[in-house]
Each structure stands twice: as structure tokens, then as C-alpha cells.
């Protein structure tokens, strides 16, 4: 049986498949762009509505936190 690698900071080892799962069917990228302050909420709402349409179906017992910011 393989032993897990210990990290130098003492927080345990690495596990394959650990961590948050992707909400989409492909890799994602961060984007930063400027919009007028008066349109910030509208642009955010439009982007979030569009991204919600792209999400893959999830199990009912999976928790998805609210969007930040």
C-alpha cells in the first residue's frame, strides 16, 4: 500500500481527486475588465445568469455557496 506524501508544513498529504469540483464541463479562466460603476451590477447579473446556464447538473446533496463579492 502506498503512503501519502507528507507536506513540510504538517498539514497532511495529497489525495487524488481532492478539492472543489468544477461546475462546468471544461477548464475555466479568471477574467478582469473595467465597466462603468453605474453598470457594474447589471454586468455582474448578466454574466452570472449566463454562467448558470452553462453549469453541469449536480447531485442534490452537493452544497454550492452563494457567489462572492
Do 53 and 46 touch, CB atoms closer than 8 A? Answer: no
Give the single-character DSSP code of 5. Answer: P
Cell 446533496, residue?
Answer: 61
How high is the pLDDT of residue 2? 60
Q: What is the pTM of this model?
A: 0.52
**Segment 21-49, tens digit of pLDDT:** 788 888 889 999 999 999 999 999 999 99
Q: Give 1's pLDDT tier (boundaries 50, 70, 90).
A: low
* Exposure letters 25-62 (e unless 16+ CB within 10 A, then b): eeeeeeeeeeeeeeeeeeeeeeeeeeeeeeeeeeeeee
Amino acid at each position: 500500500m502506498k503512503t501519502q506524501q507528507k507536506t513540510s508544513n504538517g498539514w497532511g498529504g495529497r489525495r487524488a481527486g481532492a478539492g472543489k469540483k468544477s461546475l462546468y464541463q471544461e477548464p475555466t479562466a479568471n477574467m478582469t475588465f473595467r465597466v462603468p460603476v453605474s453598470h457594474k451590477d447589471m454586468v455582474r447579473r448578466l454574466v452570472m445568469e449566463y454562467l448558470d446556464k452553462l453549469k453541469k447538473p449536480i447531485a442534490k446533496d452537493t452544497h454550492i455557496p452563494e457567489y462572492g463579492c
